[in-house]
Amino acid sequence: MVAVALQFLTRLPVPGIEVVDGDLRRATAAFPLVGVIVGGLVAASFAGMAALFDGAVAAVVAVTVAVAITGAFHEDGLADTFDGLWGGWEPQRRIEIMRDSRIGVYGVCAVVAALGLRVALLAGLAILTAVAAIVVGHVVGRAAILVQIRWLPPVGDQGHGAKVAEPIGWLGGAVALVVTLATVGVALGPFAPVPLLAALLGVAAVRRAARRRIGGLTGDVLGATQQVALILATTAVVALDRQELLWF
């Protein structure tokens, strides 16, 4: 399950796996755990660079490492979602735009804004705070995908959105929930609900836009959900740090 999730969400080397029908759906339970792995690697890159250079350099390197590890998978979904939802006049035309491999102005602006925000949020943080913000952001961002799957039906029976949109069952849901809550709880203690609530607002905003403009869920919408939730969760951690509420 974890190997399938890593193979789907990242470019990390994993043993060759033959994926059959249903494997990807079941593997969604491991999405938050993939967030722990990716977040840990990204946080390590930030800490290593921050020991040698200033926070701005470390932030740029960390965000670049995150994009490299995932192959810009979620950023691509964000770009396609913005191009489609705001680049067409009818639902079917919007879906066609989202499936087009070319990127438009809306998509470029969305990705530039997202990457810029991620760098800016991390640039002024101390190492321990940045590590917490990075790991929490990546875990919550991937957990948000599971929430969106529960909230929105897929608009078709093809593509990544349809493959992961079926319920994963109580056991898979429990695993994802425990990993998410444990990670955020260890990082933030009693303030763990803050980034979770912030991310949930982002999930709701993406859901509203997708439901109104295309009628449901696509794989690109899930990518946009991950990016929005990651940024809002990271913002919440930074806000807690600014108020000197974190324990470290």
pTM of the model: 0.95
Q: What is the pLDDT of residue 127?
A: 97
The answer to whether the Cα torsion of 110, 112, 115, 118 is positive or negative is negative
Residue 172, pLDDT > 70, answer yes
**Domain assignment of residue 44, yes or no:** yes
Looking at the 3D structure of the chain, how many domains does it have?
A: 1
CB-based contacts of 88, cutoff 8 Å, min separation 6: 94, 96, 97
**Domain assignment of residue 246, yes or no:** no
Kindly state the DSSP code that residue 183 receives in the 8-state scheme: H
Query: Cα angle at 45 between 61 and 53, to 5 degrees?
Result: 65
- The torsion angle over the Cα atoms of residues 28, 34, 36 and 39, rounded to 10 degrees, is -130
Q: What is the pLDDT of residue 247?
A: 82
State pLDDT tens for residues 85-138. 998 889 999 999 999 989 999 999 999 999 999 999 999 999 999 999 999 999
Phi, psi of 52 (to 5 degrees): -110, -30
**Domain assignment of residue 30, yes or no:** yes
Q: Which domain holds residue 62?
A: 2-14+21-241
The span from the CA of 49 to the CA of 58, in Å, is 5
Q: What is the pLDDT of residue 158?
A: 56
| Percentage of the chain lying above the pLDDT 70 cut | 94
**Domain assignment of residue 218, yes or no:** yes
Q: What is the pLDDT of residue 179?
A: 98
**Domain assignment of residue 247, yes or no:** no
Q: What is the pLDDT of residue 1?
A: 79
**Domain assignment of residue 248, yes or no:** no
